């Protein structure tokens, strides 16, 4: 990313969903990056950061093995906002007192604002906020003033106004704090005096220039799946290198019904990109035979993708680069220095260590909603930008247990019926993602006065902004009934239909 943008540094202290802070900052039109807690104040100074935000985290500030930061960042001369554990670290480092709270505080709380200050400018004196902490700041550091309190937190917000150091015990980044975005905007624009100069248009311009610098005059291979992430990546790289981009669509036998034909039609005939289709169904299904562990599925699929692309790259003398549609949630869920591995994405942790390509990942720092905005900026058609997400490993991670041709056929038909009914109801664009899952078990049923022993299919529909959190979609019972009737009538191998009503967290969107 160009250094011309004002940069906010978000220091990751181990909060699994600390990325939400980055999303809120980006939504305000300010560019930010997430850095590990080990980054030094000098490194931040060299990056010319304009403000720092410390995330929450699971540690205790006073514990010997707690996650810490370079205390020099409090002397950088730039505004710092500590959130939850970030505030506790700030207090501990600057001479305040942090202890185990006499009463833990989780969930909604009423915030009583005590002083007029830039952080709470324009807001009511009492606000609803979201708390999630077992430790508390019981004494603010010398020179700090208490800005707000709750019934259980005497120091729920504090500030050293002359040094522009602020701390809040609650979480402004979550929607459960209704005025949270207003508080963050006050920090960005009233405290840090930043301007909103980061847009989809500026991203496209700068990323095209960066890609040109990275690849030079070489040919580039693009792993094109037909999904929005790989499509936007391909369009960005195509704008940067033109005919030196060679898109490869690998049919690994794990696609939805009609997927291959749709990809060829859109990218080759409509968008005019060079596209080569590779039929690799046999080799992928052979690799997955007998495999039931989801992480092993992802690893094998990720490795085999690279081997296919390496073989195809031999057609081009200087194809050193491989484009992938990696986005930031892929990176986070695959594990970072401070965040646990939720699931290894095939395009992150599933890559072979000995691959010969240098990766080009234009979207690696973007969330899904940002990817879509970039897609529209590039002029991609609605049928691409508005498509529901589809995982790179395809139906392999929507079949629980071993992947077989029979199970793939059953799932394709079930998924197609579900999505068709969603579209008929006019809900496709309102739902983030809708799909069918096939668990590897059967159950007893009765059809036509006869006993059946057939598959159960699970329907999953969720709404989300960023794929990191999601709410299950409340579909009308009449719609679910129509879908269920079609499934058991049109797919002979199915005799039971269930609807997944679990949000993320605690579940993930995909089942594997």
Contact indicator for 432, 464 with CB cutoff of 8 Å = yes
Residue 173 falls in the annotated catalytic set = yes
Contact indicator for 250, 263 with CB cutoff of 8 Å = no
Contact indicator for 232, 363 with CB cutoff of 8 Å = yes
Structure tokens at 255: 């696609």
The residue count of the chain comes to: 512
DSSP alpha helix (H) spans, 425-506: 477-490
Which is the catalytic residue, given 5, 32, 84, 377?
A: 84
CA–CA dist 318, 359 (Å, integer): 14
Contact indicator for 208, 1 with CB cutoff of 8 Å = no
CA angle 129, 134, 139 (to 5 degrees): 85
Residue 277 falls in the annotated catalytic set = no
Contact indicator for 249, 264 with CB cutoff of 8 Å = yes
CA–CA dist 343, 329 (Å, integer): 11
Which is the catalytic residue, given 37, 171, 303, 345?
A: 171
Q: How would you write 260-271 as a 3-class SS string?
A: HHHHHHHHHHHC
Contact indicator for 400, 437 with CB cutoff of 8 Å = yes
Contact indicator for 305, 223 with CB cutoff of 8 Å = yes
Phi and psi torsions of 222, nearest 5°: -120, 125
Residue found by looking up tokens 């056929």 in the block: 409
Residue 84 falls in the annotated catalytic set = yes
How does DSSP classify residue 462? E
Which is the catalytic residue, given 173, 377, 413, 510?
A: 173
Integer angstrom CA distances of residue 504 from 203, 307, 365, 473, 508: 29, 33, 21, 12, 5
CA–CA dist 95, 138 (Å, integer): 12
Contact indicator for 374, 366 with CB cutoff of 8 Å = yes
What is the Rg, in whole angstroms, of the alpha carbon atoms belonging to the chain? 25
Q: Give catalytic residues, as residue numbers.
A: 84, 171, 173
């Amino acid at each position: 990313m160009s250094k011309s943008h004002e940069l906010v540094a978000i220091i990751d202290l181990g909060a699994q969903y600390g990325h939400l802070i980055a999303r809120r900052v980006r939504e305000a039109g300010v560019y930010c990056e997430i850095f590990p807690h080990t980054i030094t104040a000098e490194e931040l100074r060299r990056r010319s950061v304009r403000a720092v935000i410390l995330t929450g985290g699971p540690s205790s500030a006073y514990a010997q093995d707690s996650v810490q930061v370079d205390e020099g960042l409090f002397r950088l001369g730039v505004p710092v906002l500590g959130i939850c554990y970030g505030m506790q670290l700030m207090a501990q480092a600057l001479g305040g007192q942090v202890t185990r709270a006499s009463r833990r505080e989780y969930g909604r709380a009423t915030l009583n604002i005590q002083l007029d200050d830039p952080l709470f400018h324009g807001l009511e004196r009492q606000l609803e906020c979201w708390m999630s902490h077992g430790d508390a700041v019981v004494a603010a550091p010398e020179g700090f003033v208490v800005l707000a309190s709750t019934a259980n937190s005497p120091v729920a917000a504090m500030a050293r106004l002359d040094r522009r150091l602020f701390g809040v015990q609650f979480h402004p980044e979550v929607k459960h704090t209704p005025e949270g975005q207003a508080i963050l905007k006050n920090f960005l624009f009233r405290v840090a005096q930043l301007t909103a100069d980061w847009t989809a248009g500026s991203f496209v311009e700068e990323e095209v220039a960066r890609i040109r610098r990275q690849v030079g005059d070489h040919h580039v291979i693009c792993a094109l799946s037909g999904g929005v992430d790989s499509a936007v990546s391909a369009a960005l790289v195509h704008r940067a290198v033109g005919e030196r981009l060679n898109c490869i669509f690998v049919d690994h036998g794990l696609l939805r019904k009609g997927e291959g034909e749709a990809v060829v039609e859109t990218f080759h005939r409509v968008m005019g990109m060079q596209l080569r289709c590779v039929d690799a169904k046999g080799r992928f299904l052979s690799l997955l035979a007998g495999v039931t562990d989801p992480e092993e599925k992802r690893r094998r699929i990720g490795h085999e993708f690279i081997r296919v692309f390496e073989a195809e790259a031999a057609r081009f003398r200087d194809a050193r680069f491989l484009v992938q549609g990696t986005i930031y949630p892929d990176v986070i869920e695959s594990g970072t220095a401070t965040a646990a591995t939720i699931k290894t994405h095939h395009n992150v942790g599933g890559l072979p260590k000995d691959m010969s390509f240098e990766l080009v990942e234009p979207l690696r720092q973007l969330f899904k909603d940002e990817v879509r905005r970039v897609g529209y900026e590039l002029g991609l058609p609605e049928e691409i930008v508005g498509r529901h997400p589809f995982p790179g490993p395809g139906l392999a991670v929507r079949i629980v247990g071993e992947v077989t041709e029979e199970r793939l056929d059953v799932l394709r038909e079930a998924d197609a019926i579900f999505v068709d009914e969603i579209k008929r109801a006019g809900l496709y664009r309102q739902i983030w993602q809708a799909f069918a899952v096939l668990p590897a078990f059967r159950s007893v049923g009765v059809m036509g006065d006869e006993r059946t022993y057939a598959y159960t299919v699970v329907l999953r529909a969720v709404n989300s902004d960023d794929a990191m959190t999601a709410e299950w979609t409340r579909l009308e019972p009449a719609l679910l009934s129509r879908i269920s009737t079609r499934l058991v009538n049109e797919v002979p191998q199915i005799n039971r239909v269930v609807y997944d009503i679990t949000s993320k967290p605690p579940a993930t969107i995909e089942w594997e």
